[in-house]
Amino acid sequence: MENQDKKKTLIINAALKRIAHYGLAKTTMTDIAKDISFSKALLYYYFPDKLSLYVSVIEYLMHSISKELIKAVDKTTSATEGVMMLLQKRQGYIQKYYNLLEPSKMSYTELPEDLHDKFNRARAFEIKILTQLLVRGTESGEFEPQDNQLISEIFIEAISGIHFNILNKEKRFFPDKGQFKEIFTKEKRFAEVFLRGLKPMN
């Protein structure tokens, strides 16, 4: 069983690297098998098709990112610093794994149910960690008491809107370096204004 788990993890890691570089459409099961010197038959033993492998890759990636985010946010000394760290890490992951996450831009009717569930869980995690930061800020007196769950949902929806509006303006799916910089600059500025509005009135 342990050997099987190791082989499965090897396949997932190989798929993650290749899809992150080439995108899902240009990656084949043959490519992944060659990368780790496995037979295609062995890949199909663990994953019946490319989409099922992709779902496992997304799940694996989200688990890794979640642990890294929690560790980074826990090291911050204030809720404001924690939110800005979350934003910085979030943008970094989007840039690093854009090719891998690109199928998430499909419409909900096009998304397979498994993927739909994974992306919903990722969004729920972002809202949860942000809510915890806002609670921390409220308890320390950094922020005024609010409906932290609702505030977190609004924040995540707003920064997602910034990303997609900038791409839509240029009718692009993949941002260039300048657009990534513009997205992050606007997200940071929005966060600064947004968080200032939560602070107690002097």
Per-residue pLDDT reduced to its tens digit, 83-133: 999 999 988 888 888 777 765 544 444 556 777 788 888 889 999 999 999
Confidence of residue 8 (pLDDT cuts 50, 70, 90): very high
Residue 78 has pLDDT above 90, yes or no: yes
Q: Tell me the mean pLDDT in the region 22-28.
A: 87
Q: With left for phi above 0 and alpha for psi between -120 and 50, is residue 112 left, alpha or beta?
A: beta
pLDDT of the residue at 113 = 72
Judged against a pLDDT cut of 80, whether residue 80 lies above it is answered with yes
Per-residue tokens: 28 = 């084949």
C-alpha span between 158 and 183 (Å, rounded)? 12
* CB of 73 closer than 8 Å to CB of 86: yes
59-68, 114-123, 147-156, range with the lowest pLDDT: 114-123
Helix (H, G, I), strand (E, B) or coil at 159: helix
- Alpha carbon distance 130, 148 (integer Å): 8
Confidence of residue 173 (pLDDT cuts 50, 70, 90): low
Average pLDDT over residues 16-44: 91
Q: Averaged over 71-80, what is the pLDDT?
A: 94
169/19 Cα distance (integer angstroms): 26
For the cut 60, the answer to whether the pLDDT of residue 156 exceeds it is yes
Residue 151 CB neighbour total at 10 angstroms: 18
Q: Among all chains, which residue has been given the structure tokens 């899902």?
A: 24
How far is residue 54's CA from residue 76's CA, in Å, rounded to a whole number?
33
